[in-house]
C-alpha cells in the first residue's frame, strides 16, 4: 500500500484531536454566554418600568438638591477661591429655586403616569425635564464658565463650575431620559394589554 501522506497539503491533513475539541468547546461557551445575556435582558425588561421610574425620581431629587449646593465659585489666576461674599453662588440664588419646583413636578407627573398607566403624564415630565436642561445649558453654563469677572477695583477672577452644576446637569438628563423611557414603556404595556385576547 502506498503512503501518500507526504503528498497531502496542510489544508488536506486531518485535524488534530486538540483542534477538533477546541471548536465545540468555543461553541458551547458562546451559546452559554448568549443564554446568560438573554436571561439578563429578560430580567431587565421585567424591571424596566421600575428602572425608568427610579431614573425620574433620582433626576428630580438631584435637581432639588442642586439648588442648595454651590453652582460656581470665583477663583483667581492661581485657582484659589477669591475672598468675599460674592465668591460663590448657590443654585437656588441663581434661578430662584426653579429647579426644585421642576424636579418635584417631574417626579409627580411620572408617578401619575405609572399609577394611571397613561403615557401623557410621562411626556409632561419629560417636557419639564427639558426645561430644566435648558436652564442648565442656556442659563447656567455661560455663567459657570465666565472669565475676566471684575469683583472690585483690584479683584478679577474666573468662574469655576462647582459640584452643584454637575448635579443639576445629571438630574436634568436623568429626568428627561427616564421620563421618555417611562412614556414608551407605559405605551408598550398598554398596547400589549389590548392585544391580549379576553377570556
Q: List the chain residues with pLDDT less than 70.
A: 1-46, 77-86, 148-157, 196-199
Contact criterion met (CB below 8 Å) for 81 and 131: no
Provide the edge-to-edge strand list for the sheet that holds 70-75: 88-90, 70-75, 156-161, 149-150
pLDDT, position 95: 87
Q: What is the pLDDT of residues 10-26, one digit of tens each?
A: 455 555 544 556 666 65
User: Tens digits of per-residue pLDDT, 143-177?
Assistant: 888 776 655 555 666 777 889 999 999 999 999 99
Burial readout 36-48 (b: 16 or more C-beta within 10 A, e: otherwise): eeeeeeeeeeeeb
Provide the b/e sequence for 178-198 (b: ≥16 CB within 10 Å): bbbbbbebbbeeeeeeeeeee
Quote the CA–CA distance of 149 and 89 in Å, as a whole number.
Answer: 14
Residue 72, pLDDT score: 83
**Does pTM top 0.85 for this prediction?**
no
Read off the C-alpha cell for 135.
436652564
Quick count: other Cβ atoms within 10 Å of Cβ 152? 10
Amino acid at each position: 500500500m502506498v503512503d501518500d501522506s507526504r503528498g497531502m497539503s496542510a489544508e488536506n491533513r486531518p485535524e488534530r484531536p486538540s483542534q477538533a475539541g477546541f471548536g465545540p468547546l468555543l461553541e458551547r461557551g458562546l451559546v452559554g454566554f448568549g443564554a446568560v445575556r438573554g436571561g439578563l435582558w429578560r430580567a431587565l425588561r421585567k424591571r424596566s418600568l421600575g428602572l425608568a421610574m427610579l431614573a425620574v425620581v433620582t433626576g428630580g431629587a438631584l435637581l432639588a438638591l442642586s439648588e442648595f449646593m454651590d453652582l460656581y465659585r470665583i477663583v483667581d489666576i492661581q485657582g484659589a477661591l477669591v475672598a468675599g461674599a460674592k465668591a460663590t453662588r448657590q443654585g437656588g440664588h441663581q434661578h430662584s429655586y426653579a429647579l426644585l419646583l421642576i424636579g418635584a413636578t417631574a417626579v409627580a407627573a411620572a408617578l401619575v403616569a405609572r399609577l394611571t398607566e397613561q403615557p401623557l403624564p410621562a411626556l409632561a415630565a419629560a417636557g419639564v425635564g427639558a426645561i430644566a436642561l435648558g436652564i442648565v445649558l442656556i442659563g447656567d453654563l455661560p455663567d459657570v464658565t465666565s472669565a475676566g469677572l471684575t469683583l472690585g477695583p483690584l479683584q478679577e477672577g474666573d468662574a469655576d463650575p462647582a459640584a452643584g452644576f454637575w448635579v443639576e446637569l445629571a438630574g436634568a438628563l436623568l429626568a428627561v431620559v427616564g421620563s421618555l423611557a417611562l412614556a414608551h414603556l407605559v405605551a408598550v404595556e398598554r398596547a400589549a394589554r389590548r392585544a391580549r385576547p379576553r377570556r
